[in-house]
Amino acid sequence: MSIAPDPDGFYSHRDYPDSKIAGLYDMGRTIGRGHFAVVKIAKHVFTGETVAVKVIDKMKLDEVSRDHMFQEVVCMKLVQHPNVVRLYDVIDTSTKLYLVLELGDGGDLYDFITKHESGLNEDLSKRLFRQIVTAISYCHRLHVVHRDLKPENVVFFEKLGIVKLTDFGFSNKFTPGSTLNTACGSLAYSAPEILLGNPYDAPKVDIWSLGVILYMLVCGSLPFQERNDSETLAKIMDCEYRLPMRLSSECKNLISRLLVRDPDQRPTLDDILNDVWLALDAFDDHPIDMYSEPLISRYVAPPINPQSALLSTN
């Protein structure tokens, strides 16, 4: 017998085939898809609140993918910040792992930028960029590196008036003073040292990606985007990009400090937050006080051991 959704696209929790998720959420339409996972809209049975559920097929995971999923859960459980999408719950079954996530209501930053051909004005860019930097600064203080920073992984929460960082699939814990080796992320946003396959200082690769995001915010396009990957790679290695004349000298200066090939020459996150271009008197800071505990967080099950969830397949 087939299972049909209701008019709003949600499957009844009584009909959804996986009993562990069925008692808690009505599953809706798919809003994202990857190699080993899909992301669905879901509705909490008791509160009626809408969430995003990342459904990971454990049977398709190889050892490397299992490690990434483990790190994603560990890092998202650790990072609790107003500008980071919350992981409400982790539900483990024999074949699936469900990550129940906060759902944004305003789309992602990439789509927003592409609607503005020449980029956003500098005041709005400051407001958005500062929130992203603040989120990454908090992550780094907890020794969590994101490694896949890009506008597609920044989502709007219009009711709260803020943006939040999401998708920690390439995140990892790091030890200050030590290096990481895994090459990951998206080409156009990746630091030169990652693309060269060299051991790298984890915080510095996120800082490079912040430079690419800032460029996109104020210019409306990528700084390094050529006809093919080889040409794009060459531009990244040479740090070759153009800045529009219309940008303020302060904005240009910050971008040029971020997009530096030598990671030791890049500013720290504190340097970025204290940069003259991000001066707080230019705009009202984002309304963190508006961030409150969602009703759903009172109903979710106690957190499980994420390692056992990712390593168990029976």
What DSSP assignment string belongs to 146-189?
Answer: -----GGGEEEETTTTEEEE---TT-EE--TT--B----S-GGG
148 is catalytic: yes
Cβ neighbours, 10 Å, residue 147: 27
Beta-bridge partner residues of 144: 173
Q: Which residue has the tokens 């940008």?
A: 247
Q: Any idea what the Cα angle at residue 85 is, between residues 66 and 92, rounded to 5°?
A: 40
Cβ atoms of 171 and 75 within 8 Å: the answer is yes
Catalytic annotation, pick one of 108, 148, 167, 275: 148
Residue 54 marked as a ligand binder: yes
DSSP string, 247-294: S-HHHHHHHHHHS-SSGGGSPPHHHHHT-GGG-GGGSPPP-GGG----
DSSP 47: T
- Round to whole Å and give the CA distance between 225 and 75: 30
Distance between CA atoms of residues 102 and 159, nearest Å? 13
**Residue set of the binding site for ATP:** 54
Give catalytic residue positions.
148
**Residue set of the binding site:** 54
